[in-house]
Amino acid sequence: MSDLLKRLTSARGVSGDEGQIRKVIIDEITPLVDEVHIDRMGNVIGYKKGTNPKRKVMLCAHMDEVGFIITRIEDNGMLKFATVGSIDSRILPSKRVRIGDKGVPGVLGIKAIHLQEPAERRNAVKAKQMYIDIGARSREEAEKLVNLGDYAVFDSDLVYFGNGRVKSRALDDRVGCFTLIESLKGTYPFDLYACFTVQEEVGLRGAKVAAYHIQPDIGLVVEGTTCSDVPKVEPHRHTTRMGDGPAISIADLASYSNKRMVSFLIECAKNAGIPYQIKEGVTGGNDAGEIQRSRGGAMTAVISVPCRYIHSPSSVMDLKDLDNTVRLVKEFLEGCESL
């Protein structure tokens, strides 16, 4: 598990700039499928022909991650930026980033606290007040290293710690990509389309195109989702709990899971002795929202790996939850033709 997860989380892939992670995924799935297709949006679709195909099943995980895009180079060499995807600006000051194809190192900076007015100290600093410091002393120096429109990612490596846990950037949704790759190692009666989508973090754009092309009968999305089982958060607001297994969604702001699929996922988990939980909340959204409504519609459901501190450089996950997510997806695939 460790080598593949490290390769996936190390590759850059901010929404709209997924080239590096796309190459990693293509290299991983090419020996496992009958055909690899990259559509005009940049989605990677691995097609695995079924032994007796009567239905189309679409497995989906997005390969993009949140990050930044350079919007201006100041005369003093500092870089202004916009966030790509939803990022809490309160976590940004002093975080390290890597910019562009060369991975130019930088640090997110703000005005020093001893220079701030009392009113400024009481309010959270917004991203538009920050800048990226790459050590350049002038615009000319900075322009030798970066260009307007370059993307930047959090500079954060995968680290194992505690009792079987990891921290990394981009666990949302490289855990889903990991699960799809592992699932492709099986053989199934139906035609399987493993879709690694782009631009989920900025509006589920890639999934809309992929689902329209494939026209699946069944769509199963694998995600990394919010986990807030931390101090001073009441238990009824945890949404998911780390270590309790994959989270099965009932609904979110983008989609309603098909009731038969949810019941079947629960049945699969119980029969195989796989721990699972129901996601307790309907916030957020994912690619199921577009797959469900594409063309004539599709049955959809969502399985998620609980991840603390998502959309940050230090998301945290329990490896047992990822392993059990892979197990549950495989159990589902082995019997979903009965749906």
Instruction: Show which residues are catalytic.
Output: 200
Q: How far apart are CA 66 and CA 290, in angstroms?
A: 19
Q: Which residue has the tokens 């202004």?
A: 80
Q: How far apart are CA 203 and CA 235, in angstroms?
A: 30
Going by the DSSP 8-state scheme, the letter that residue 204 receives in this structure is: S
Question: Is 335 in a helix, a strand, or coil?
Answer: helix
In order of 29, 42, 337, the CA distances from 215 in angstroms are 21, 18, 16
CB count within 10 Å of CB 47 equals: 17
CB count within 10 Å of CB 108 equals: 22
In contact, 79 and 72? CB cutoff 8 Å:
yes
Residues 6+ apart with CB under 8 A from 203: none
